[in-house]
Amino acid sequence: MKTKEFKKQLVWFDEHSYAEAVNKGNFKLFAINDALKWCEDKINTDLIDRKKFMLNMRSEFLRCLKHANKGKIQLDISAEKIASLLDISIAPLLQFQQTFDKYDHEVIIIGGVYNVNVDTEIYKRYTKNEKENEALNTANELISALKKVEKYRTIRPAFIQQAFQQFIRWDFRDNVYRYNIDYR
């Protein structure tokens, strides 16, 4: 007798949380790209080490500023002093760094361009065994039947949830029924 091989099935994908994560990742990208744009007015941004810039925008900018002006100034003075002599305020760069550090998303560099990688698997829930697969299929059939009945009658989600002992739940955010895999 052969046993049926278990294949996990997708129960739900949290689109709203995923979209929020992508949005926050974009804020992080805006911060670092705005910082690079700010640097363009003062130095050649090709000199900037993109990885170091992510970690500490201020120190990488100052390193590049000193390198760009080493031929103009014969004395060995600090990069901060060079910025002061050139009337460059580092405060905007510190604000960009603060905004960049506020978000936890991983930023990767592809071809010198910053990108945010938001893993969709974090926002998915799968079945864990064959019993859950069967329950999911039954819940999907029930939800399909409820959709057919809704064409002819008004259905109250609270009553449906209660009648089926929380087997399915009403998702108020998306206004749909979902299999309640977490209910025991």
Q: Give, for all 184 residues of the chain, the pLDDT tens digit.
A: 566 788 999 998 999 999 999 999 999 999 999 999 999 988 988 889 999 999 999 999 999 998 888 877 777 788 888 888 888 899 999 999 999 999 988 899 988 899 998 999 999 999 999 999 999 999 999 999 999 998 999 889 888 888 888 898 898 888 888 898 886 5
Instruction: Give the domain extent around 20.
Output: 13-121
Domain assignment present for 58: yes
The total domain count for the chain is: 2
**Do residues 155 and 139 touch, judged by C-beta distance below 8 A?**
no
Identify whether residues 73 and 102 lie together within a single domain: yes
Identify whether residues 45 and 111 lie together within a single domain: yes
Identify whether residues 99 and 142 lie together within a single domain: no
Domain assignment present for 131: yes
Domain assignment present for 1: no
**What CA–CA distance (Å, rounded) separates 134 from 109?**
43
**What CA–CA distance (Å, rounded) separates 137 from 19?**
27
Count H helices and E strands in the chain, helices first. Answer: 7, 6
Q: Which residues have C-beta within 8 Å of that of residue 100, sequence separation ≥ 6?
A: 28, 31, 32, 35, 54, 57
Q: Name the token pair of 148.
A: 């057919």
pTM: 0.72
